[in-house]
Amino acid sequence: MKYRCVASTPEGLVQQVAVSYLRHGYWWYTTGRIPGSKNPDDIDRKLVAKYGIDISERQRARRKSRGLANMQYIRYQNWFLLLCTEGHHPFRTQENIRDCRRHPIRFEGYSISYRRAGFTPKGDVTPKWHACVRIEPETYAELKAFFLQRACHRKAETLTEDFRRVPFARYAPIRRQLLNILRNVNNARSRMGFDLLPVSALNLRRKITRPFTDEIITKVA
């Protein structure tokens, strides 16, 4: 099967969805899990064939010009995601789909959505939209509670190592979330007269990853 759909890591899946798919209008989605009794590769082939996903960039452009929707499929281990653009497609009527502009995609503690930007440049009547990758609320609350519990009971070096082990890719919203946790930790440590943690403890640089193990990225149109 030529279509590449098996993500090498959770970060690879998140990057492919946020950077490549959402910005091209693949906003409607459904998720699922493949039972352990079934072969994931067989399910990949079945879904890609069922929805006609393995087509060329030119075919995608032609479908779009005719008002037809295009689709993408991606999987990590037994979790999969089907995405669809605006337009006519059997998927839009056969599946229980959601719009990621209203209901974020939740995966491995991430919340992936497509949002309107906070401001529109002067003279531009078209609102700007962008992909937004955050730590989903429940996971973020747990992470914050974990660090606040340890804030005054661990050395600064130990907390620094804990922060650096936080697995989430450092997208801008996630950087803000981690900075907020760090601020709360330092406030607690300051009240007790303990050493504060530097911002460098967060390791805020995002690493670009290869979404697929074979290093070939699915074309998007």
* 148 and 78 within one domain: no
Whole-angstrom distance, CA of residue 54 vs CA of residue 2:
7
Whole-angstrom distance, CA of residue 51 vs CA of residue 117:
32
**What pLDDT, on the 0 to 100 scale, is given for residue 124?**
60
Q: What is the chain's percent helix, strand, coil content, to nearest 5? A: 40, 20, 40
Q: Is 211 part of any domain?
A: no
User: In which domain, by residue range, is 94 found?
Assistant: 10-135
* 164 and 72 within one domain: no
**What pLDDT, on the 0 to 100 scale, is given for residue 215?**
47
* 146 and 129 within one domain: no
**What pLDDT, on the 0 to 100 scale, is given for residue 219?**
42
Q: What is the DSSP string of 88-139?
A: B-THHHHS--EETTTS-EEETTEEEEEEE-S---TT--SPPEEEEEEE-HHH
Whole-angstrom distance, CA of residue 149 vs CA of residue 167:
19
Inter-residue contact 221 to 14 (CB < 8 Å): no
Q: Rounded to the nearest 5°, which phi and psi values hold at 7? A: -75, 140
DSSP 205: P
**What pLDDT, on the 0 to 100 scale, is given for residue 220?**
45
Q: Is 207 part of any domain?
A: no
Whole-angstrom distance, CA of residue 44 vs CA of residue 12:
18
* 169 and 61 within one domain: no
* 22 and 77 within one domain: yes
User: Strand 105-107 to strand 110-116: parallel, antiparallel, or no bridges (unpaired)?
Assistant: antiparallel
* 149 and 97 within one domain: no
pLDDT in tens, the chain (221 residues): 479 999 999 999 999 999 999 999 999 999 999 999 999 999 999 999 999 999 999 999 999 999 999 999 999 999 999 999 999 999 988 778 999 999 999 999 999 999 987 665 566 666 788 999 999 999 999 999 999 999 999 999 999 999 999 999 999 999 999 999 999 999 999 999 999 999 999 999 998 888 987 543 344 44
Report pTM: 0.88
Q: Is 78 part of any domain?
A: yes
* 86 and 41 within one domain: yes
* 100 and 159 within one domain: no
Domain boundary among 82, 105, 135: 135
* 33 and 123 within one domain: yes
Domain boundary among 111, 135, 159: 135
Q: Is 152 part of any domain?
A: yes
Q: Is 50 part of any domain?
A: yes
Q: Is 26 part of any domain?
A: yes
Inter-residue contact 53 to 73 (CB < 8 Å): yes
Q: Which amino acid is at 14?
A: V
**What pLDDT, on the 0 to 100 scale, is given for residue 92?**
87
DSSP 38: S
Q: Is 185 part of any domain?
A: yes
* 29 and 122 within one domain: yes
User: What sections of the chain are H helices per DSSP?
Assistant: 10-15, 40-50, 57-65, 91-94, 137-150, 156-164, 172-191
What three-state secondary structure class fits 70?
coil
